[in-house]
Amino acid sequence: MQRKEFHGVLSSIKNLLFPPFCTVCCKPVAGVICGNCLENITFIRSPRCPGCGRGMSSSAPGDHLCASCLRTPPLFSTVFAVALYQKPLSTLVHRLKYQGDMAVLPALRIIVEQHPPARLTGNEILIPVPLHTKRLRQRGFNQSALLVDVLFPGNKSLLRVDFLQRHRHTDPQTGLDGRARRKNLKGAFAVRNGVLCSGKRVVLVDDVYTTGSTVAECSRVLLRAGASEVHVVTLARVKE
Q: Is 47 domain-assigned?
A: yes
pLDDT, mean of each 10-residue run, the chain (240 residues)? 45 53 90 94 95 84 90 95 97 94 95 96 93 87 95 94 80 57 68 81 96 92 94 94
What local confidence, expressed as pLDDT, does residue 197 receive? 80
Strand 124-128 versus strand 201-209 pairing type: parallel
Residues 6+ apart with CB under 8 A from 225: 191, 195, 196, 197, 198
Residues 6+ apart with CB under 8 A from 83: 41, 42, 43, 44, 89, 111, 115, 235, 236, 237
Q: Is 225 domain-assigned?
A: yes
d(CA 64, CA 215): 20
What local confidence, expressed as pLDDT, does residue 33 receive? 95
Q: Is 29 domain-assigned?
A: no
Find the domain containing 102 and state its range.
Answer: 41-237
Element containing residue 104 per DSSP (H, E): none
Q: Is 72 domain-assigned?
A: yes
Phi, psi of 21 (to 5 degrees): -135, 160
Q: Is 14 domain-assigned?
A: no
d(CA 205, CA 213): 14
What local confidence, expressed as pLDDT, does residue 113 receive? 97
What local confidence, expressed as pLDDT, does residue 176 receive? 53
How many structural domains are present in the chain? 1
What local confidence, expressed as pLDDT, does residue 59 receive? 64
Give the long-range contacts of residues 96-100, CB within 8 A, separation 24 or more: 96/143, 96/146, 96/207, 97/139, 97/143, 97/207, 100/139, 100/140, 100/141
